[in-house]
């Protein structure tokens, strides 16, 4: 496995390269992305993982400082998973002090995480475009847990004619249903025990939707199931899965809808979502 920290050391791929962009602290959810990438690259292709805690997508300095960075463990997991190339640059190698250009998304980022984390998706789009330019993959793999991120990156490659195929992998969960996330390790044992209620409540909405056709009623029922003395709901929204715009009353039960939430446990913010099929 080759490890690069300096962008200048990278060379264009001489075989089919598939990239898994990550911020490290790799868990089984990332490994599902890595397996999908290997499948897409083929045995003769090149499987690349980037590990970079991207400072410009953090809106809270405390969250950036507390983000786990177990680089040696991550490299070991990559080796075991058969990764061919890791790109793990330091922040100052990616961003010059006088940089003045970034990507700005103006529609899909207005709701959900984008509404409560100003600038977050511009930071994600900017770094993903830079990673695509530096590593020149033919395809890149993202998780459906970050549904809005996935939708925005699909829009990024469509609108800017970026020749990278975007592949999606369903959310990987712990045995109790909690969506895997690098942030889970920052939960206290009590918070960790409480957090699976997020997925339980979102999943229950699939059967609640037919009896709660008004979005406000459905959202109130789900919110009541998510809330506990240990958490604070940042947002809970029912949106169109393509436009990410809120589903307004009366709900059209013939259309799928996406139920998405972000929930704080102390300083730790967890996201999850559930696609609701047409009723």
**Enzyme catalytic residues:** 30
124 in contact with ligand PAF (CB under 6 A): yes
Left, alpha or beta for 132 (phi > 0: left; psi -120 to 50: alpha)? alpha
Query: Which is closer to ligand PAF, CB of 103 or CB of 127?
Result: 127
How many Å apart are CA 47 and CA 45, to the nearest integer? 7
Site residues for ligand PAF, window 146-175 (CB under 6 A)? 146, 149
Q: What is the phi/psi pair of residue 118, to 5°?
A: -55, 130
How many Å apart are CA 194 and CA 274, to the nearest integer? 19
23 in contact with ligand PAF (CB under 6 A): yes
Question: Where are the strands (E) in the chain, listed by range?
Answer: 2-4, 17-22, 46-51, 85-87, 139-143, 165-169, 232-239, 257-265, 268-276
Residue 83 three-state SS? coil
Q: Pick from 214, 265, 211, 254: which is nearest to 238 by CA?
A: 214
Query: Which is closer to ligand PAF, CB of 75 or CB of 127?
Result: 127
Site residues for ligand PAF, window 42-61 (CB under 6 A)? 54, 57
**Residue from 21, 29, 89, 114 in contact with ligand PAF (CB under 6 A):** 21
Point out which span in 38-46, 83-91, 123-131, 215-223 binds ligand PAF (CB under 6 A): 123-131
86 in contact with ligand PAF (CB under 6 A): no
Query: Which is closer to ligand PAF, CB of 128 or CB of 164?
Result: 128
**Residue from 26, 75, 81, 127 in contact with ligand PAF (CB under 6 A):** 127
Query: Which is closer to ligand PAF, CB of 23 or CB of 276?
Result: 23
Residue 101 has which token pair? 């250009």
Query: Which is closer to ligand PAF, CB of 130 or CB of 209?
Result: 130
Query: Using CA atoms in the order 50, 84, 158, 127, what is the torsion angle rounded to 10 degrees?
Result: 10
Q: State the nearest-atom distance from the C-beta of 66 to ligand PAF, in Å.
A: 15
Residue 239 three-state SS? strand
Point out which span in 19-27, 39-47, 104-112, 257-265 binds ligand PAF (CB under 6 A): 19-27
Q: Which residues bind ligand PAF (CB under 6 A)?
A: 21-23, 54, 57, 124, 127-128, 146, 149
């Amino acid at each position: 496995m080759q490890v690069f920290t300096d962008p200048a050391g990278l060379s264009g791929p001489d075989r089919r390269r598939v990239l898994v962009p990550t911020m490290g602290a790799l868990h089984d959810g990332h490994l599902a992305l890595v397996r999908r990438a290997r499948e897409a690259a083929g045995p003769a292709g090149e499987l690349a993982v980037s590990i970079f805690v991207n400072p410009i997508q953090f809106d809270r300095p405390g969250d950036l400082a507390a983000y786990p960075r177990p680089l040696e463990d991550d490299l070991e997991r990559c080796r075991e998973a058969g990764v061919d190339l890791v790109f793990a640059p330091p922040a100052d190698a990616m961003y010059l002090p006088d940089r003045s250009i970034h990507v700005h998304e103006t529609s899909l980022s207005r709701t959900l995480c984008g509404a409560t984390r100003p600038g977050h998706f511009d930071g994600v789009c900017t770094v993903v475009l830079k990673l695509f330019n530096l590593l020149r993959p033919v395809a890149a793999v993202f998780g459906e847990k970050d549904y809005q991120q996935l939708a925005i990156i699909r829009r990024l490659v469509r609108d800017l004619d970026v020749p990278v195929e975007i592949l999606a992998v369903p959310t990987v969960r712990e045995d109790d249903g909690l969506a895997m996330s690098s942030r889970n390790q920052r939960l206290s044992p009590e918070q960790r025990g409480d957090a699976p209620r997020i997925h339980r409540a979102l999943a229950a909405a699939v059967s609640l939707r037919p009896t709660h056709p008004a979005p406000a009623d459905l959202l109130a029922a789900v919110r009541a199931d998510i809330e506990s003395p240990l958490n604070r709901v940042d947002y809970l929204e029912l949106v169109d899965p393509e436009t990410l715009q809120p589903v307004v009353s009366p709900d059209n039960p013939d259309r799928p809808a996406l139920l998405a939430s972000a929930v704080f446990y102390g300083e730790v913010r967890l996201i999850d979502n559930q696609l609701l099929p047409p009723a």
